[in-house]
Amino acid sequence: MKIKNNRLVANNGTMVPWVASPNIGGNLSNGGRPDTLVMHYTAGGAGSGTVSYFKKPSAKVSAHLVIGRDGDITQMVKFDRTAWHAGKSRWKGKNAVNRFSIGIELANYGKLRHSGNGGWVSATGKSIPTERVVLDEHKHFPGSEYGWEVFDKQQIDVAVEVAQAIVMEFGLEPWDLVGHEDISPHRKIDPGPAFGMDRFRTLVFGREEETWNDNIFKVDSPTGLNLRIAGNVGATVIEKLPDGAPVHVIEKSGNWWLVAKVVNGNEDKTGYVHRNWLAPN
């Protein structure tokens, strides 16, 4: 796949199906060039249903691409225009991620709940076969297992190809590929643990996550960033790192990263910070 004139071109050389959404903004920042790719799940059934919904002005939501369970792709917004997929969000020290990102929606019910007969149902009440359910905890809620609909291999394979085309066209790095749960950690949980974001990055970039996880970042918060003894907002604060302070990422734990404060090029105090307030140095 490749991108031509901000449209996705399939492997056979034809443009992927186009259904325009009216729910768009102006050109993306940075001259219409996205610098972030955000993965979502639809929390619904067939991809065609999401496409129909995004066509309605009353929906007030859209995405650049919708990928169905069988890997069918529909483009609804050109890659240089703002789609309404992220909502209140922040990444790489910048608010309103819609302004600088591409959004991809994958048809998937996401988080499920137990039905009265011991089975599983979606939020819309759709019964989900047990073989399509995986039990796992979400990184925002460690220690608690939930049911999640699995993603089909053909859908993931296509999503990888699409992401690779976007990464190549716009020069994105691994930390530019994120989930909705990463940019809106207090509101959203998609694409969730069944998606496997770390594995997806590895497939897209062809290298293990550790090759980018071990990097120097900087604090991007005008009011500073609390360095804590554990990865939660209630943990004791070790100290407040000033805006622009460099840190060395040692290990990730969901949205909380274990970092070492960098002083004169050497590692100093270690602790946890929320990744949403870090930016590549």
- The full DSSP string for 143-166 is T-EEEEEPPPHHHHHHHHHHHHHH
* Structure tokens given for 118: 């011991």
Contact predicate 15/1, CB 8 Å: no
Q: Could you say which of 105, 149, 161, 181 is catalytic?
A: 105
Q: Dihedral sign, CA of 36, 40, 46, 50?
A: negative
In degrees rounded to 5, what are phi and psi of residue 49?
A: -65, -40
> What's the DSSP call for residue 135?
E
Of 233, 226, 212, nearest to 271 by C-alpha is 226
The answer to whether 209 is a known catalytic residue is: no
Of 117, 43, 122, nearest to 85 by C-alpha is 43
Residues annotated as catalytic are 105
